[in-house]
Structure 1
Amino acid sequence: MVPEKNDGINNDMSLPPNQQNRPALSWESKILKTVPLPSFLGNLRPVMGHCCNQCTPDCLSKKVGPNFFSGYRNLLNINETQTKCRGWLVRRVCCVLFVSGCKVYGSPVSDRLERVCQSNRVKEALAADQKALEGKDGQGQLSLLSPFQPLINTCISTGLLRFTSWVMLKIWASVFGIVQVNLNHLPAISKASQEGAPVVYVYVRQRAVDCALLPLVLFCHNLRVPFTICPVQIKSYFLRSVLQKLGVVLLPPSALTEVEAERDPLYSVVMTSLLRELLHEGQALSVGVSAESGLGGQWLARIRQLIKEGSVADVTLVPVGISYDRVTNANVQVGSRSALKWLLSLLWKEPEGSVVIHFAHPFSLKEMCESERCKVEEWLPLQDLLLPVIFNNRAHCVFGKREMLWLLTSSGHEKNPAERDLSIAIILHLIFLTTSCLAGMSTSLVSSLLLYKHRKGVSASVLCRDVVWLTEELLFRKRDVGFGGRVPEVVHYALCQLAPHLIFATLPSREEPFIVARPSLASTLHLSLQARSVLHAFLVEAVGACATSAMLREVVNAGLGSRVRTDSVKEEKVEGDMEFDVVFGQSELMEKALQLCHLLPPGVMPPCQSSQSFALDAVDSLVRCGILIMEEIPKDIPICDFMKRDGALTWATSDDPYPSDSDCEEQDPCSYKISQPSQCPDLLVFLCSMLSGHLRALCWTTMALDLIAAPLPEAEFISRIHSHLCDTANQKKRHYESCSEEAAYTAVRTLIDLGVLLETRQMGGDLLGVSPLFQSSENRAKLHSFISQYLFN
């Protein structure tokens, strides 16, 4: 889908080598006659990763580099042009010459352990520990720090780093076909690293190889290799010793998980002091954050605390988006035997898939903290936001932003609620920025089309046309795509990657195959995981579409419009054309979208944007898509506004930033009606289906509360909910995208914030049980009805 000529813009942006010289497909000639190639893709690719114009306007004005797309570089394509020498022998050892010529910044340990032990933070923590009092000469205190001594002495060995980088280049060449790196913001990152402030790279955790890919990319571009915060527990002593000489900060051997390590107050204090010393040395850091649980965000909170105390002047944050053709689980246990088996398996394995890495524009964390632009409204508990709506007490309906205190796993240092909210806002902002940097891969586009638009199957030619349409929509939303080539080749490559999860049917009467997503739990979860980048790009439209669907449901239930299929009607067919001759008020649509925003996982929208503004964008996005038509109705004509709330929301329709007398006057009411183009219902269903997996998991979790009589430990409670989700999907033989462990965890966390589940703190762990308010079946039915209104079937 990129012009065949080499224009210098899309360097090395093509299909993997094993897909370039394949035989022509039998249905290619037919598709090429009907599917136009988007010729603008090569010249007008969007530049992603700009700074937030509200939180960091100063960093946005200091942009370095071109404003146009600079192209990609294939990290695995190393030849003699990247070395200082030329010749036949150089071509054989060019990788060794390239690695030996890369710049390496050493990091000697020197007296780091002594400096950490002498810090006031560590001294106070040791003095508060009763065991530390047993050592009269200080040996008792040092013994408490002995488990953390290898972590504190983590360093970067120059020779070992060069050798490991050469080995990793060979390994990734056997694992991936292509590792593309976007070159747009690399000059700005290089300049920021030279100005003095340490650089902190933030990415969203997807795979265990994230920790290895990012340092290798920086090493190959002559940037400082960061100290990597690794959340994976590694038991092998040999691997731990090697990784600690490559700048990898591991978990303590006594802690199995990151949550368990954070429960140790001494660990949090020692890690904060270690961060202070590393930043004083000018070292770079690499931190991965979980988009569901927020794990990893405590490291950002520690850095912000150091800036607030004045221990560190400032740091430069760089969000990084790492996109894969194939996504696997990142929670793995690594041992020496498993690593050796994995390395040996690469000898008989052909490279599969590709990786695209986007660096965002660097910005100052101090500017974001001191300007306080990242927080625009007060955080409120979710039960204060939604319970009045669920129980139809609209007189007490409150508008605000959902409070997510659980994003900070270790909040002992955040005693001030305002400081704690600011740390949470920064975590949410970085999750949003890193997710926005993810490129739309070919497998992501095909997975989203098969899951959300063609659930019953699609022919190859129609799939190619929809891939072109979806590519144009992503580029229109300033999201880059991580593929190139001709349309049939791109689709064929994506189908090959997704082949284990698809069913291909061929008929004698058809010249092209018919593709259906395999109706199984593993296949549906894999496709749903691949489609996340597309979901994030269409999230605003999806929220608006689900809000419109909820309004249509209320119209149908009130008997004011034509029939719309719901979950309670299983196999009923709607006769004739669907006519939606109903007018919706703007305030009602926005309120529906606003309530839905509170049910979504963290990081879907930046905290610097108010929820009301996001809801307004959701409604306006449907007007741009052609689903809704805006109508200006005079004041003397009543609107079919059957849920009017006086004074709920007040909006000025003028775009003039300077207020005038006309802005104080009451504006004419704005209303919307659904357009009647033939493609409108299909687009509405496509957008609503994107959020159906999360909403359906919430509904099924609410129904599972009847099966839990007594409080259970949190891990066991989530396990039971996950089992219930899988059993329900197996009974229905569909909706497997609602059965992942992440869906169960997110649903349980939402119900805790909503006050449906009650947390009880105990020494052995937290217990979860149904709160007294929702032990009534009537109240649970109201909750289920509130969530299910957004489901469009």
Structure 2
Amino acid sequence: MVDVISARVQEAYVGWRQSFFSESSENREPVGGQRPNLSAINHQSRRRQNLEKESIKLLRENSLYQIKEIPTKATVVAPTPRPFMGLSCGRCTPGSRDVIAQKALKKSTAVNLLNLGKTYDSKGVISRNFYDIAQAIRVKTFDYKQVSPMVVKDERVKQAIEQITQDRLFKQDNTNKDAKDDVKKLTHSQIHKSEERRAHQIVKQMRSTMSNFLLRLTSWTLYKLLPFFVSSVAISPAQTEMLKKASDSGIPLIFIPLHRSHLDYILVTFILLNYDIRCPLVAAGDNLKIPLFGWLLRGLGAFYIKRRLETNGGEKDITYRVALHTYIVHCLRAQNNIEFFIEGGRTRTGKPLLPKGGILSVIIDAYLDGTIEDALLIPVSMNYDKLVDGNFVREQTGMPKQMETFTGAIKSIWAVLNSHYGNIRVDFNQPFSMRELVRTFQQHPSKLSPPPFLKNPSSDRFALKQQNIDGNGSITIEKLSMERRLSSRLSCSSLYGTDVAVEEQRGLVEAIARHVVYDCTHATAIMSTNAVAFLLLTKYRKGCSLSVLAQELESLTTELLFNNKDVGFTGEPVDVINHVVNLLGPGLIVKEREGDDIIIKPVLIQPNIIELSYYSNCFLPFYALQSIVATALQVLISSSKLAAKDIQIRHDDLVDLSLQFCEMMSQEFILYKPCQKLNDVVNETIENFVYKDILRLIHDSKTEDQMWSRRYAKTLDDDDDDDYQENVCVVYKLGLDEKSVRNRLQMQTVLRPLLEAYCLTASCLPRILIKEENDYITESKFTREVLSELKDALDSGACNYGEAVSIDAIKNCIKLFREWGVLDSHIEGRQRFLNISRQYANELKLSKISELLHKFKTEMPKEVLPSYLNR
């Protein structure tokens, strides 16, 4: 600190001296036209330099004296203010949102957690020189009660064991009716004791053993190791202030992060520990229960959950489910905080997964039955410049996942410590009351079951009947899924099926889960690798100059900040691009020199582009609706025989097509919050197109009174009433600036890789049809066949997007076809079997399904085609 102050004083003085003497020499003219005496000037100059040295020395001594005598506080230069992200929903939790003070909003900055220990005002020698040790010693300790002994004594577990005993006795009696007399039968006592022992073993293998000593040791270790492979862990002090206030309330905190890396739960615990907030118990998969590391994670708060909660025969494991449910309830009752990943596992594509509501259903059930008074839900968003876990190319190309082992963990840690992964950003959303959210949904049941967004509801929900095919033989999504709402059923592989969640609570759990994922997604900060990868894959797949890419990056950053979307990087665009190129390496992005220009190109080899698309896909949730509307606009333009500038587009047609495409993407994205309506968000997106001059309004039959009524009706939050329908005709045409329209419509390529995968999956449906009656094909085998076809299409040039080869996209398309009723499925053991449903059991109907999806692949006319595709 002394050196910094003295250096700054010296720099200021030297700068003043140079400017003063330069001005003096410029203003001084020779007297009488005589030449100046150079020796005298040199003598004076040397004298001045000696005087300056003496004055600087004296000034430094005085400064040192003052610093020693006068106590000063460490000052930190305030970082650039960032948009405050993660506020709770104003519609669903207005009371929680009002808790945020404007003062906290103004302090929305990002600081590096790795420098946190250095900012503490300390006087001791150890604290000054060994801040990491001092910080580990300083952290606050909490009493983490062990609840496992109470779990096995809980009445709910006892009742479940008794019920299982009775079921096993009944099954044994029926099985042994025709058996020989010498077959040994188990008594009630034997079966009961066996289930009791199993329940004890389940709880023992599941429980967390949180240790304050291990927490401190891990804090010190991370302070030492993280700087080896990351530049910073950026967090917002305003967000941590919110967490402290929430922690002081005495209400359990439920942390719900999106899952990207194994480092996620360690980072959350590390941050909370250093800010003196009670660390949560973390629900972890039992695949992490490996030697040494499993014990360490258990001591840091992990409680282990089986990946599949069924027995080997595919039956529900009631004992395990009840033990898990009871353990979580007792943890909440003991005022422990909980952390779980609502997606279930890490995203393999870079975009968020649809939620699984098993653990969330337990917490909601604990509130509804009065076990806990309330809980504060805290969505958490994390993003990485470069993923520490490597990549998921193997899994996306059909290879099985490699299980975690002790040797593999050691090799991974060594490789990580010898690599560089850039920056990490962690954002904690505003805590909001689960009680308030539940009451809001209970008061407005329509939010739990949004009204159909498609026209002409039919009594048949998913099936397509013969009369649903129009005279031209075409099929529309309205006829496929009349009452289908844009949401998928939550995973039933977690805790559903026991007394954990009754049927009427499923809608409530689903709505809250989707709201949390939506909030997490839109609070995720964009990292530099996300932005550069997105630009290269959507605009410059064939490469562009460094200067052009820098301009686009600056424009994209400005647009994100304008839309109140934070970015996790700062600096000049050229420096940011160079940072990304060096970080991702030549395997993903190539930097070449052509003449006087430097060209940046993405590597379009299929495995490499899958890895690069992981970083680009972080943008998909933010541009999904725009891409959907742009694709619908593309279909309308392509179906017209007029020139692009003469095409007229009806608003109703554009909305209908957009809703159909939204239905197709229902397994990929959560496009709107449960408290919103899809029609409204689609209309807002179209209005945004008008604002950007992509579309221009040429006819609107609404009067001023109608427009005022419509705006006023939007402000009313009366979900029980039917939507206000206006009998109006709104017509658009393309913006007059065709170059601007061409550039703006490049967003329609964002979803093109998904479309490629979906269309080819639909084309492969007849492969299931040719099977004999009652002959089913496993989902895994069908997925591999589609994946092989995608690779062949990529090699032949029929597919232009290497990132379309994605096993996740194929699986989501299969889920969509199951929702539409095109596919039937059943589970035997641990495998799912597929077959074509009776309603579609002919090639004609399957070809119409394929045509329905291919409709959205229609190419844009050349005059409005994105420039890089029109070459």
Query: Which amino acid letter does the alignment assign opposite residue 584 of structure 1?
Result: I
Equivalence map 1:90-239=2 (5 Å): 90-109=127-146, 112-130=147-165, 134-135=188-189, 139-231=193-285, 233-239=287-293
Q: How is 1:48-447 mapped onto 2 (pairs within 5 angstroms)?
A: 48-64=85-101, 65-82=103-120, 84-85=122-123, 87=125, 90-109=127-146, 112-130=147-165, 134-135=188-189, 139-231=193-285, 233-252=287-306, 263-290=316-343, 294=354, 296-327=356-387, 328-329=390-391, 333-346=403-416, 349-372=418-441, 373=444, 376=447, 377-378=449-450, 384=461, 391-392=475-476, 398=482, 401-410=485-494, 411-412=496-497, 413=499, 416-447=502-533
Q: Is residue 2:103 matched to residue 1:46?
A: no
Deviation at 1:634, TM superposition (A): 4.1
Aligned to 2:676: 609
Number of equivalences:
711
State the alpha-carbon separation in 1 of the partners of residues 367 and 633 from structure 2. Answer: 45
Decide which of 575, 578, 586 is 1:492's aligned counterpart. 578
> Which whole-Å CA distance do the structure 2 matches of 1:245 and 1:58 have between them?
36
Distance 1:206 1:658 in 2: 38
When residues 62 and 665 of structure 1 are mapped into structure 2, their CA distance, relative to the original with a 3 A threshold, is closer
Amino acid at match of 2:262: A
Q: 1:425 to 1:362 in 2, by over 3 A?
A: same
Identify, as 1 or 2, the structure richer in helix.
Answer: 2
Residues 667 and 652 from structure 1, CA distance in 2 versus in 1: closer, same or farther, beyond 3 angstroms? farther
Q: Distance in 2 between matches of 1:762 and 1:184?
A: 51
Name the CA distance, whole Å, in 1 between partners of 2:295 and 2:310.
19
Cα deviation per residue 1:106-141 (whole Å; 9 max; x = unaligned)?
A: 3131xx233212323322321221359743696333
1:550 aligns with 2:635: yes
Q: Provide the residue aligned with 1:686 in structure 2.
A: 746
Give the residue type in structure 1 aligned to 2:119.
T
Separation in structure 1 between the aligned mates of residue 562 and residue 335 of structure 2, nearest angstrom: 39
What one-letter code is carried by the residue in structure 1 that aligns with 2:848?
K
What is the Cα deviation at residue 492 of structure 1?
Answer: 0.9
Unmatched segments (≥5 aa) in structure 1: 1-40, 563-578, 637-649
Match of 1:455 in 2: 541
For residues 731 and 493 of structure 1, the distance between their equivalents in structure 2, rounded to whole angstroms, comes to: 35
Residue aligning to 2:567:
481
* Shift of residue 459, structure 1, vs aligned partner: 0.9
Q: How many Å separate the matches in 2 of 1:250 and 1:196? A: 26
Letter in 1 for 2:138: G
CA offset digits 1:298-323 (Å, max 9, x no partner):
11121112112222221101111101
SS at match of 1:524: helix
Matched residues in 1 for 2:227 and 2:251: separation?
34
SS of the residue aligned with 1:533? helix
SS of 2:238's equivalent? coil
Q: Which has the larger radius of gyration?
A: 2
**Structure 2 length as normaliser, TM-score?**
0.76
Contact 2:79 2:109 in 1 (8 A): no
- Shift in alpha-carbon separation, 1:666–1:546, aligned structure 2, 3 A: closer
Structure 2 counterpart of 1:552, which letter? I
Please name the residue that 2:687 is paired with: 620
Measured in 2, the distance between the counterparts of 1:261 and 1:282 equals 35
The answer on whether the counterparts of 2:88 and 2:432 sit within 8 Å (CA) in structure 1 is yes
Cα 1:667–1:505 change in 2 (3 A) is same
* 8 A Cα contact 1:294 1:407, kept in partner: no
Deviations 1:374-432 (A, max 9, x none): 85244779994796696259689846623422434342147654311111111111111
Contact residue 122 and residue 128 of structure 2 kept, 8 A: no
Which amino acid in 2 is paired with 1:449? L
Distance 1:360 1:426 in 2: 15
Report the CA distance shift for 1:464/1:375 in structure 2 as closer, same or farther (over 3 A): farther
The one-letter amino acid of 1:334's match is: E
Please tell me whether the aligned partners of residues 474 and 537 of structure 1 are also in contact (alpha carbons under 8 angstroms): no
Instruction: Report if aligned partners of 2:380, 2:520 keep a CA contact under 8 Å in 1.
Output: yes
CA offsets 1:300-351 (integer angstroms, 9 cap, x no match): 121112112222221101111101112345876332222223333455x143
The C-alpha deviation readout for 1:215-250, integer Å capped at 9, x for no partner, is 111112211111111136035243322322221012
C-alpha deviation, 1:174, in angstroms: 1.9
Q: Which amino acid aligns with 1:402?
A: L
Task: Give, in whole Å, the separation in 2 of the partners of 1:666 and 1:448.
Answer: 39
1:105 positional shift? 1.8
1:695 paired to 2:755: yes
Q: 1:591 to 1:227 in 2, by over 3 A?
A: same
Q: Secondary structure of 1:76's partner?
A: helix
TM alignment of 1:634-713, pairs within 5 A = 634=701, 653-655=710-712, 657=715, 668-708=728-768, 709-710=770-771, 711-713=776-778
Letter of the aligned partner of 1:337 in structure 2? T
Instruction: Note if contact 1:405-1:424 (Cα within 8 Å) is conserved in structure 2.
Output: yes
Q: Which amino acid aligns with 2:734?
A: I
1:34 corresponds to which residue?
A: none
Q: 2:659 aligns with which of 594, 600, 603?
A: 594
What per-residue deviation string (whole Å, max 9, x for no partner) do you get for residues 672-716 of structure 1? 221122443433442111111222211111112233444222333
- One-letter amino acid matched to 1:581: D
Native 8 Å contact 2:824 2:836 kept in 1: yes
**TM-score (ref. length: structure 1):** 0.83
Task: Give SS of 2:285's match.
Answer: coil
d(CA) in 2 for partners of 1:432 and 1:490?
28
Aligned to 1:783: 849
Matched, 1:630 2:697: yes
Over the matched positions of the two proteins, sequence identity in percent amounts to: 22
- Residue aligned with 2:646, SS: coil
Q: For the Cα contact (< 8 Å) 2:630–2:747, is it kept in 1?
A: yes
How big is the shift at 1:764?
4.8
**Quick check: 1:714 aligned with 2:779?**
yes
Q: In the alignment, what sits opposite 1:645?
A: none
Q: Distance in 1 between matches of 2:672 and 2:463?
A: 19
Q: Distance in 2 between matches of 1:718 and 1:265?
A: 31
Stretch of structure 1 that moved more, 181-190 or 783-792: 783-792
Q: What displacement does 1:789 show?
A: 2.5
| Structure 2 residue ranges without an equivalent (≥5) | 1-77, 170-186, 393-400, 455-459, 718-722, 860-871
CA 1:750/1:196 → structure 2, altered by over 3 Å: closer, same or farther?
Answer: same
- Is the Cα–Cα contact under 8 Å of residues 462 and 484 in structure 2 kept in the other structure? yes
| Residue deviations 1:465-495 (CA, integer Å, cap 9, x gap) | 0000110111122110000112211111112
Q: Deviations over 1:531-580 (max 9, x none)?
A: 1232222223222212211222332xxx3x23xxxxxxxxxxxxxxxx33
Q: 1:386 to 1:91 in 2, by over 3 A?
A: farther
- The SS at the match of 1:322 is strand
In structure 2, the partner of 1:761 is 827
Structure 1 counterpart of 2:434, one-letter code: L
Q: Tell me the SS of whatever aligns to 2:115.
A: coil
